[in-house]
A and B are shown apart, each in its own frame.
Chain A
């Protein structure tokens, strides 16, 4: 028996040593900040485009402040994480990081000094990025203006504030390794998969997460959450009433809106804004890959979409009145609100993106949950500054809670042919009170985007 316990003890020690060896990462020596002249201009420009794919600015820039200087509060279910300064400032940024240190951060999620990074930095995706692309990203970031800005300390409870713990998370959920081509697929598909799964990290928002904050592999791209918005499913569960095709998705990503799918809103507006820097070929590759993930739509869905198209073609305005809209029902009140508050734009003759979408086409109204509909009704779509953009006034001050619920019930029934969302009222209350935080962004102005935050610095 004694021998057994000694055996167990040895096993425990071996496991601890093994985990320690796995978890411990050496520091990589600091370097003198490299000179701009040491980087090839073409490489820097390539890095600029890649940084747009990665949407780096979205987290690493506080709106209205210096680009890439970090300090943005990123709320997570575990606490608040503040984004790091990735300008080449030697004291507070990555000025003393060698290319090897940068490459390791991308591939393994480890800081130059050997600390593990939180998966709020999507290294589970960035691990797929090629050495060649990391080289270009490094060249781009190291040639930005250095900004001295120390970010606030993260607000995380014990033991999550101990970075060693993150090695355990990685052991469970992280698979290190560059992207490997799927030989059975086309070059364009592979390019799309590389961008979507790697630097683009679409799944970071569009895939649901488990209790420990890791993406659920079995629900890949099945719809997740971002900054208070539902990130819709990009697989077969897509709620778009007209199924997305390569061409419509290409147009949506290229211009930030598409006539049968509406205008990008919330954090997605920033993404499409940033994608503006990509060549058409890359956008097309992304569309090819994502549409392959959606698969062919079911025959019923195709039939319904054809019916919607047919009805829209003959529709000359007019408000659909569902059967349930007998006097006094929630939907009857919803009809009235829709007619006075929504129809002037959403049932008008102005085409998108400046006219409102016909709700028959709205993935938001057909979505499984009410969150995005609530966000848009309350906060609208703020105007982009200094350019023409879609705009919608928010109705937070105009509509009472019950009135919003009535409106949503009507929209669901009349336009999506679905019952009202059961959790609309509770979610609405939490959104209104600020308990559930929502970031509201201009439609295409991308306030943290390259034009506004001086990524050309």
Chain B
């Protein structure tokens, strides 16, 4: 039995501990946002976040994420209330077939959580392990830059409210 925390929810999964996290997410937890691309850690379609860092879930044995926080693209928001990363990808229409996009969003999310002021060069460099066969790279880059700006204005918007609370 392996205990998992995915998108804030706890799960007990009865599975061989060497099973790749990706298979558990998709087959057992029915979270299909992370995709199987190459199975070799070379395309990035399976990228999820573990403790805030982007990892290839196809190469991560589920045993290794016990006690750590896993976040998948489903954890970034909902259809009714998309998170800033998802909102930005919708605004920029960054998906063509969409297969790589879940992984792209998770790697970008990990970057922006660690480095909210990431510049265009940082974004390019961070997304380097993730491949897109449709060729929507320019839109993806624009979407991540947009997500960065959305996140900044969101956190800037919250700051005055917090200040008011402290004042009262």
A binds B: yes
In this complex, the interface size class of chain B, counting residues with CB under 8 Å from chain A, is 20 to 34
Q: How far is the CB of A104 from chain B (nearest CB, A)?
A: 43
| Residue A399 interfacial (CB < 8 Å) | yes
| Residue A438 interfacial (CB < 8 Å) | no
Q: Which residue of B lies closest to A337 (CB)?
A: B61
B59–A344 touching, CB < 8 Å: yes
Query: Which A residues are in CB contact (< 8 Å) with B42?
Result: 391, 393
Q: Per-residue CB proximity of A105-126 to B under 8 Å, as 1/0?
A: 0000000000000000000000
Query: Which B residues are in CB contact (< 8 Å) with A337?
Result: 61, 63-64
B18–A336 touching, CB < 8 Å: yes
A399–B53 touching, CB < 8 Å: no
- Most chain B beta-carbon contacts within 10 A, residue among A335, A344, A397, A399: A397
A393–B18 touching, CB < 8 Å: no
Q: How far is the CB of A79 from chain B (nearest CB, A)?
A: 29
A393–B129 touching, CB < 8 Å: yes
Q: Per-residue CB proximity of B36-50 to A under 8 Å, as 1/0?
A: 000111100000001
Query: Which A residues are in CB contact (< 8 Å) with B63?
Result: 333, 336-337, 340
| Residue B56 interfacial (CB < 8 Å) | yes
Query: Which A residues are in CB contact (< 8 Å) with B62?
Result: 340
B59–A398 touching, CB < 8 Å: yes
| Residue B19 interfacial (CB < 8 Å) | yes
Query: Which A residues are in CB contact (< 8 Å) with B20?
Result: 340
When chains A and B are docked, how far (Å) is the Cα of A391 from the Cα of B129?
Answer: 11
| Residue A439 interfacial (CB < 8 Å) | no
B19–A340 touching, CB < 8 Å: yes
B59–A336 touching, CB < 8 Å: no
8 pairs of residues in contact across A and B, judged by CB atoms under 8 Å: A336-B61, A340-B19, A340-B61, A344-B59, A391-B42, A393-B129, A395-B59, A397-B54
Query: Which B residues are in CB contact (< 8 Å) with A336?
Result: 17-18, 61, 63
Known pairs A337-B63, A340-B64, A344-B39; list 14 more (Cβ under 8 Å): A333-B63, A335-B18, A337-B61, A340-B20, A340-B60, A340-B61, A341-B59, A345-B40, A393-B59, A395-B59, A397-B55, A398-B59, A398-B60, A403-B64
B61–A341 touching, CB < 8 Å: yes
Q: How far is the CB of B163 from chain A (nearest CB, A)?
A: 35
- Most chain A beta-carbon contacts within 10 A, residue among B50, B53, B61: B61
Q: Which residue of B lies closest to A380 (CB)?
A: B41
Q: How far is the CB of B13 from chain A (nearest CB, A)?
A: 14
Q: Which residue of A lies closest to B23 (CB)?
A: A340
- Most chain B beta-carbon contacts within 10 A, residue among A340, A392, A399: A340
Query: Which A residues are in CB contact (< 8 Å) with B56?
Result: 393, 398
Query: Which B residues are in CB contact (< 8 Å) with A41?
Result: none
Query: Which A residues are in CB contact (< 8 Å) with B53?
Result: 397-398
> Using a Cβ–Cβ cut-off of 8 Å, how many residues does chain A contribute to the interface with B?
18
Q: Per-residue CB proximity of B101-124 to A under 8 Å, as 1/0?
A: 000000000000000000000000
Q: Which residue of B lies closest to A335 (CB)?
A: B18
A344–B40 touching, CB < 8 Å: yes
Q: Which residue of B lies closest to A350 (CB)?
A: B40
Kindly identify which residue among B54, B60, B129 contacts A341, using a CB–CB cutoff of 8 Å: B60
Closest 4 CB pairs of A and B: A340-B61, A393-B41, A397-B53, A339-B18
Query: Which B residues are in CB contact (< 8 Å) with A395?
Result: 59
Q: How far is the CB of B124 from chain A (nearest CB, A)?
A: 12
Q: Per-residue CB proximity of A321-352 to B under 8 Å, as 1/0?
A: 00000000000010111011100110000000
Query: Which A residues are in CB contact (< 8 Å) with B50?
Result: 397-398
Query: Which A residues are in CB contact (< 8 Å) with B61?
Result: 336-337, 339-341
When chains A and B are docked, how far (Å) is the Cα of A288 from the Cα of B95?
Answer: 55
Q: How far is the CB of A11 from chain B (nearest CB, A)?
A: 63
Q: How far is the CB of A39 from chain B (nearest CB, A)?
A: 39
B55–A398 touching, CB < 8 Å: yes
Q: Which residue of B lies closest to A382 (CB)?
A: B128
When chains A and B are docked, how far (Å) is the Cα of A436 from the Cα of B72?
Answer: 33
- Most chain A beta-carbon contacts within 10 A, residue among B19, B20, B41: B41
A399–B64 touching, CB < 8 Å: yes
CB proximity to B under 8 Å, residues A49-84:
none
Q: Per-residue CB proximity of A376-408 to B under 8 Å, as 1/0?
A: 000000000000000111010111100100000
Q: How far is the CB of A355 from chain B (nearest CB, A)?
A: 10
Query: Which A residues are in CB contact (< 8 Å) with B19?
Result: 340
Q: Which residue of B lies closest to A345 (CB)?
A: B40
Q: Which residue of A lies closest to B53 (CB)?
A: A397
Query: Which A residues are in CB contact (< 8 Å) with B54?
Result: 397
Query: Which B residues are in CB contact (< 8 Å) with A341?
Result: 59-61
Q: How far is the CB of B155 from chain A (nearest CB, A)?
A: 24
Q: How far is the CB of A363 from chain B (nearest CB, A)?
A: 23
When chains A and B are docked, how far (Å) is the Cα of A426 from the Cα of B49?
Answer: 27
- Most chain A beta-carbon contacts within 10 A, residue among B18, B19, B62, B129: B18
- Most chain B beta-carbon contacts within 10 A, residue among A337, A398, A400: A398
When chains A and B are docked, how far (Å) is the Cα of A399 from the Cα of B39?
Answer: 17
B18–A340 touching, CB < 8 Å: yes
Query: Which B residues are in CB contact (< 8 Å) with A344?
Result: 39-40, 59
Q: Which residue of A lies closest to B39 (CB)?
A: A344
